[in-house]
Chain A
Amino acid sequence: MNGLSAKPGARAGMLLVGLALAVLPLLVGATIGNSWVRILDFALLYVMLALGLNIVVGFAGLLDLGYIAFYAVGAYLYAIISSPHLATAFPAVFAAAPGWPVWLILPLGALLAGSFGVLLGAPTLKLRGDYLAIVTLGFGEIIRIFLNNLNAPLNITNGPQGINNIAPAQVAGLSLGRPVELFGLQLPSVTLHYYFFLALTLLVIFVCVRLQDSRLGRAWVAIREDEVAARACGINTRNVKLLAFGLGATFGGVAGGLFAGFQGFVSPESFGLLESVMVLCMVVLGGMGHIPGVILGAVLLSLLPEVLRWGAAPLQQLLFGKVLIDPESLRLLLFGVALVLVMRFRPAGLWPSALRRRELDAHEAAPGDAA
């Protein structure tokens, strides 16, 4: 853990943060309601997704517009195994849902998503930036279209109807789907999921930090900065790139499995291109390649639309005395404006790494066309 506690006092700080994270859902649930705990749960899922995409985009510098496909793969694997779908679709083979424990499905989902990541990476190794972007976009769409159509001739995904009645995750014999009474405190399902997601998010963060400081992490950065030079230094760029795609995808697979268990229902419409774009926005807006920045980006962008959902109407009421614009229209409008403004004033993201900020300052100081 020396990577995390380099500075004095960091340990105390981490303890405080940990405490805050532990109390947060109880506080939120008791004050502004469980819907906000649910929003926090989704924020944690997005943190995982953003960190996974950050490996591909931030560390290795490979623009990926189809990342949500891995999320979908993880979600569908969980859904197929933990729902009565197989028993309904293939009654001859399956008598009931396989119902494997979550500790088996999640790694399986990660593995499957990782293999898809390598599968995507393999044909695209030679492609540069924006060509890669369109191919990954196409890959994401291909996966979604297959999920949407694989209800015939064999009913694997149940097509557009989606898979319903997915069992919630069981942790230590405890179903996360039902509220639990603990020390006279009622913990609803959303709060239980929060702790479960938080634990896995912390694990993902830990893995990311370790990866960043590893030999592999440095190889990624080398490729991002200059692929030719990296190869000249003896880095096997093909394998290192494939590892970036594969490892990045695994996080998506895990998050997908969690999503399926949490929602109880998956359908292809959850895995559209806009979701990929959203996760990319989180990575770039927060600060590409910088783990705390990416986390910040994910949390902010998943909370912002919800804050606007609650705030848009009352705020107008307060300012103008009446509601001038539909809150729904305003919500997305402000979201778009926020994206533009952040990039305008902090083009390297809200919280870029110190190194990146230095580079950028140097770049701006250079003589040239600073408009």
Chain B
Amino acid sequence: MRCTYSCRSEAHLLARRQFLGGLAAGAGALVGGFSTFVRPAIAGQIAQDQKRVLVVNMAGGLSQLESWDPKPGTNTGGPFRAIPTSVPGVHISELLPYTAKQMHHLAIVRGVNTKEDDHGKGAYLMSTGRRQTPASDYPVLGAVAAKALAPPDSPLPGHIIVTPGGGGGRGNDAAYLGPRYSSIVLGNGQPPSNSARDEALTAAADDARNALRRRANDRFAQRRRTAQTDAYTYSYEQARQLMERRDVFDVTKEPQADHDRYGTYDFGRHCLLARRLLESGVTFVQVTHSNYDTHNENFDFHLEQLGEFDRSFASLVADLAERGMLDSTLIVVLSEFGRTPNINLYYGRDHWSAAWSVVLGGCRVPRGAVWGKTNDNGTEVVDGQVDHGQLFHTYLQAVGVDSTESFDVGGRELPIADPATGPIKELLA
């Protein structure tokens, strides 16, 4: 199949120039590949002001009542109390004392109603901003951010997911944006799989081997260049550059005092790694904390899990603020849904998407804001109701991406976010 990008359109000429420029830069070359926006001027605008995104995924469904929207003293409130925060008048659960001191950097969206109580479907719509259908597949936020925000010549991947366990590898989550924007998964925070040079291979031999590959590849591309060969070339070059920057993934190089401050457990280490990645210029980093699917003994498990989350997350927010990164780094704390106001027989809370909370911070998000409101016992949204589509637009607009625009993918215009909805304007300063 011949690639279609050489159609001579303005957008594709931009991509062609990026490609050639990358080659001219030598060993660090990256293939620009497909054009990004229908209106390429946007790419230039974003490049002048590099933005990043940090997502903390509270896997399983964080209880809004034990976190961002407590209802103490009501029939749904549970045993925990609410505590004041650094924002006058704003209270959160007593399970988050460290985060409470950072709330002036953050904003709470308390009126989320996503109408989806299934784990898989909820995770899909929260990560893509759209409902899953058999006929379509959409790229996740990380892929969109990498495509829209990552500098084309970045030596590092633009879309990284740090998981609590498991192996590494490449996600299949970029849909029509292509594998270039798929996540690189750091299982338990370990560096990307197979990113260390084999000890049996000397650096010189490795360089010679790659030079030979490049020569053969360039010669082949002169006459038979296709989308597939570009993707192939890109994968090699990215892998090579990633190997050269492998220390970026080595969280042990961070000071011991920071390890102690973040917590010497997996999530603490993963948050510290997220800071390191963001500081190194990675565009999108997602850290997952697991597991909040507390159908049984919700309160004990939230006590346990949020005890970890609170210390590490608050340290990360404080550091991003102190290092001047909040103006360029969007923070999102999300789940696939919240948990039922009703406390079940087993002291548990079940799946609940009708009235729950998401937390944002940084970039254009107004500091210390609270948007949306639930009723007295948290069973429904009474003001400022929003859904996943609006949130997705808001994330992107917060980092300067015009989410009402479209991607140009192989000549097709594909809306960046759901065109049927738009951002939460009140959360964009």
Same complex? no
B residues at A contact (CB < 8 Å): none
